[in-house]
Chains A and B, each alone.
Chain A
Amino acid sequence: MSYLINGKTGNWEVVVGLEVHAQVVSNTKLFSGASTEFGAKPNHQVSLIDAAMPGMLPVINKYCVEQAIKTGVGLNATINLYSVFERKNYFYADLPQGYQISQYKHPIVGEGKIELDLEDGVTREIGIERLHMEQDAGKSIHDHDPKRSFIDLNRSGVCLMEIVSKPDIRSPEEAGAFLRKLRAILRYLGTCDGNMEEGSMRADVNVSVRHPGENLRTRVEVKNVNSMRFVMQAIEVEAERQVSVWESGGEVIQETRLFDVNKGKTRAMRKKEFAHDYRYFPDPDLLPLKLEIEYVNSITSTLPELPDEKKARFVKEHGLSSYDANVLVSDKQKAEYFESVMQYTPKQNQRDRDPKVVVNWVTTNLFGALNAVGKDISESKISAEQLGDLLDLVSDDLISGRIAKDVFDIMFETGRDASDIVKEKGLTQITDIGKIEAIVDKVLLENPDQVNQVRGGNNKAIGWFVGQIMQATDGKANPQLVNKVLREKLN
């Protein structure tokens, strides 16, 4: 399914590359021992290095290097045993050094790839160009004072990974899928919390358009897109803008644009003079970063199971469909929830839980209910153990599937145990054949017309009777038994 813009001069293809800035999970900054904890008072987590006091020297945080290597391995990428920190020079009030320490010619991670699972089971491979480490800048606040900007350097020096994709993305949907997959990988690895709304994952989007088969045309960089939805919107509107520029005889110029969330449009940024003259050069304060292959291997060997591996295992071990497995592994916590429902110690005489039943309840019922109230799996009042107990009540024929849904709703609201709710409300399924026969007799006696219909060959009327009996028992009669008894009595 390809995404094409239908223009006056034919179809246009969208070419997108993403640059994602991912804040590294670490206790301290990339080159100083100041804390990275979120929410501190302004300028309370700033070392003399982060404030660029004269004579201060940066010393690299070993754990940040480890996190970058882990991420590189998770992106199926080459780890460069030799990388170099350079200075990217520019002036801005929240950059006290006057330069950002970054990597340029020699990044720590080279080419890799991410596999996307798109709708209708299609997979697409998106290339990773590189990953490099760099310092974050401080934060400027412009709206507190008419004449002054306020600067908080707490974020200054925090380690970022800039992850650059190849221009392999061809639609807004693919861009969304790329970001979701990347976020899942980062979260599985624990190298970035992936929270776009809080700014720990930010994306710049490079967009160009072309007629299919043409060489690449000029690209535009769209900044300031801080949610998945905005990334997708920005691509859509920017691509359409470019098509209309080309088709009206104009030329798209290489520039940086901002996505205006309120207007749903991109607009050109004020052209800063010499904006792109960063004059990179190797930072004389830092020697090149040389890694031993044994060190890289030791990190690789400690990596957790990643989404693609987990998905393959779910399909193989539990016989799940590719779709169900994708839904589960898209979020580490969801996958863990499913696994804890599956990994229980069976009580005596109990069968193993059926993975397909579990996946249905977890994805449809639980995730559905959580989505409806805008909650996260970590906020679920129903623990994996409790959900498992509910499913056992059904498979042990203690309650019917219909009753289970009602019990589930109460559990979802209150977090109580299924068996308590069943006991308190008297919801236990009626499996006593004598009781069921009595109810069936009563219903048959009250509805002689329908009895005649069934006997006259109208089998649909049996269904009607099942409904009547379920209603008469508040859904508690065991449906299999009801069917059996009905057929016996009506024959």
Chain B
Amino acid sequence: MSLSHDDVEKIAHLARIKIDDAELETLRTELNNIIGWVEQLSKVDTDGIEPMTSVVGTNLGHRNDSVSEVNLSDKILANAPDRVGDFYAVPKVVE
């Protein structure tokens, strides 16, 4: 599998990363190298082997259903570029 310039543009758009046309070729080569490496890995015969999701042999940790965080609105909103009262304000989102 090999990526085209269009593929790279699409991936960049999905990730909301702005790239210049000049960068396209470099990124395409780098991404293709990564894909090539993964393709190399998939040559290993893994039939009947369960996929490993983690190297730690523990179960998912959990917490109890009790409120541990009370109002943090000052902290939460501290870095907001714009706010109105306790709301974040963002450029109008049109559906």
Contact = CB atoms under 8 A, between A and B. Distances in A.
Nearest 8 CB-CB pairings of A with B: A33-B68, A63-B65, A150-B87, A151-B88, A47-B69, A42-B86, A287-B60, A62-B62
A269 B71 contact: no
Contacts, number: 130
Interface string B35-77: 0000000000000000001101011111111111111110111
A27 B90 contact: no
B62 A287 contact: no
Interface string A126-164: 000000000000001110111111111100000000000
B64 A62 contact: yes
Interface residues of B, number: 39
Given A47-B72, A277-B14, A290-B60, A28 B67 contact: yes
Contacts of B71: 44-45
B53 A84 contact: yes
Interface stretch (A87-95, A329-337, A445-453, A454-462): A87-95
Contacts of B70: 35
A28 B65 contact: yes
20 contacts: A27-B66, A28-B65, A42-B87, A43-B73, A44-B71, A45-B71, A46-B73, A61-B62, A61-B64, A63-B64, A63-B65, A93-B88, A93-B90, A144-B84, A145-B89, A151-B90, A274-B13, A286-B60, A287-B54, A287-B60
Contacts of B94: 142
A289 B88 CA distance: 34
Interface string A260-299: 0000000001100110010100100011111000000000
A466 B22 CA distance: 102
B75 A44 contact: no
B18 interface: no
A270 B95 contact: yes
B4 to A, nearest CB: 16
Nearest to A33: B68
Tell me what chain B mostly uses at the interface: helix, strand, loop, or mixed: loop
A196 interface: no
B7 interface: no
Interface string A62-91: 111100000000000000000010000101
Interface in A15-57: 26-28, 32-35, 41-48, 51
A62 B65 contact: yes
Nearest to B87: A150
B75 A48 contact: yes
A contact residues, range: 35 or more
Given A43-B77, A46-B76, A287-B53, A141 B59 contact: no
Contacts of B62: 59-62, 65
B86 A142 contact: no
Contact of A148 (B65, B75, B89): B89
Interface of A: 26-28, 32-35, 41-48, 51, 59-65, 84, 89, 91-93, 140-142, 144-153, 269-270, 273-274, 277, 279, 282, 286-290
Contacts of A59: 61-63
B67 A33 contact: yes
A100 B77 CA distance: 21
A28 B60 CA distance: 18
B67 A35 contact: yes
Max chain A CB contacts within 10 Å: which of B54, B76, B85?
B76
B89 A51 contact: no
Nearest to A91: B16
Nearest to A83: B60
A271 to B, nearest CB: 12
B82 A287 contact: no
A64 B54 CA distance: 23
Given A63-B65, A287-B60, 7 more contacts: A42-B73, A43-B76, A63-B64, A89-B14, A147-B92, A148-B92, A290-B59
B18 to A, nearest CB: 13
Given A48-B72, A288-B53, A27 B67 contact: yes
Contacts of A146: 92
A324 to B, nearest CB: 38
Contacts of A47: 69, 72
Given A63-B65, A89-B14, A282-B53, A288 B60 contact: yes
Contacts of A42: 73, 85-87
Contacts of B56: 287
Nearest to B65: A63
